Amino acid sequence: MTGFGLQLPDYPWNAMAPYRERAARHPGGVVDLSIGTPVDPTPEVVREALASAADSPGYPTTHGERGLRESVSGWFARRRGVEGLDPEAIMPTVGSKELVAWLPTLLGLGPGDVVVRPSVAYPTYDIGARLAHAEAVAADDLEELDPEVRSRVRLVWANSPGNPTGIVRDAVSLARLVEQARAVGAVVASDECYAELGWGEWDEARGGRRVPSVLDPAVAGGSWEGLLSVYSLSKQSNLAGYRAAFVAGAPELMPNLVNSRKHAGMIVPRPVQLAMAAALGDDAHVAAQKDLYRARRERLKPAVEAFGLRLEHSEAGLYLWGTAGEDTWETVGRFADAGIVIGSGTFYGERGEGYVRISLTGTDERVEAAAARLEAAAGA
């Protein structure tokens, strides 16, 4: 029987299999700096909250526990400079990938509608458009688009700090995108899950600036209408296994988003909701985790550069984005020969050709091993 199933592309990371095998032959073992899954322990305060909610026989609420939504609102005020966010305009999601993939469908997009995503981007933005039978277009500014295409834009994805590039859009840049989207009646959804992980000028713990949210007053212009901030606790709190995320803003859209997800059965389990609330109320573990990533970045970055890569952007988030001026897969292969698995820039669109993405999410020991191997190869 044929003709069933969506015709989606193969999952891109499957292409890494031969390079993982190649890296596995290294006598010192594999250093996996590819997908970027957290490796450090989930904070005790979160685990205690999860355990305390283990007796949860009833169905959870799709809109989220009131206490969780209040925690999100308080976190926005404390950490993102967004005051007075109504808990009614907040909803937990089953990880941020769920919302990225299904938001075009939940918004009612379909054939003829255009979803704009960054020029170098996480592939699920495109997949979400395809699931809704809409058209995905790559652009960082709507002025880049043909007027006819621009007139059909219904959803604009921002991703700042960006994956894979680590680029940060300042408030002026985000405000321009919001203005352009509002001019054509489009929603702006901003994927902001690396916002607590800024480096250099964006590292608040070292005197830098706060990474702005799309809901920041300097960006939103006095109204959150048509603006959605998407956030995940996977990276800042080591909760990737919990699938713990939320979306906030756009008070005129949230009731329908909640209702649609009720019908579809997209519900965050109650123990996870209470664990999220605990995580959002504790800034200390976030700062401690950032210190670990900062140290790993400071160790790995010069070693990668010594190995011949020119890094670009990489000013926030958990990745180094760079090029060796050669074919992407040649670079991936050279890292594999050193026993290091990294990500191919080709997974992130045409403009990722020639680039690679290197994760900071190895243990201290594995990051040290990677840096030593790269330095040794560079000096050979």
Contact 118, 161 (CB under 8 A): no
42-99, pLDDT tens digit by residue? 999 999 999 999 999 999 999 999 999 999 999 999 999 999 999 999 999 999 999 9
4-54, pLDDT tens digit by residue? 666 777 777 788 899 999 999 999 999 999 988 999 999 999 999 999 999
155-203, pLDDT tens digit by residue? 999 999 999 999 999 999 999 999 999 999 999 999 999 999 999 999 9
> Whole-prediction pTM value?
0.94
Q: Quote the pLDDT of residue 1.
A: 45
Nearest one of 197, 154, 155, 185 to 288, comparing CA atoms: 197
- Mean pLDDT for 307-334 is 97
211-261, pLDDT tens digit by residue? 999 999 999 999 999 999 999 999 999 999 999 999 999 999 999 999 999
Domain ranges of the chain: 12-41+285-379, 57-281
What is the C-alpha R_g of the chain?
Answer: 21
Kind of pairing between the strands at 153-159 and 114-117 = parallel
Percent of the chain with pLDDT over 70: 98
Q: Which residues contact 74 (CB under 8 A, 6 or more apart)?
A: 280, 281
Contact 314, 164 (CB under 8 A): no
12-41+285-379 classified as CATH 3.90.1150.10: yes
Contact 315, 168 (CB under 8 A): yes
User: How many CB atoms neighbour CB 78 within 10 A?
Assistant: 13
Place of tokens 């379909």: 110
CATH code, 57-281: 3.40.640.10
Strand partners, 323: 310, 355
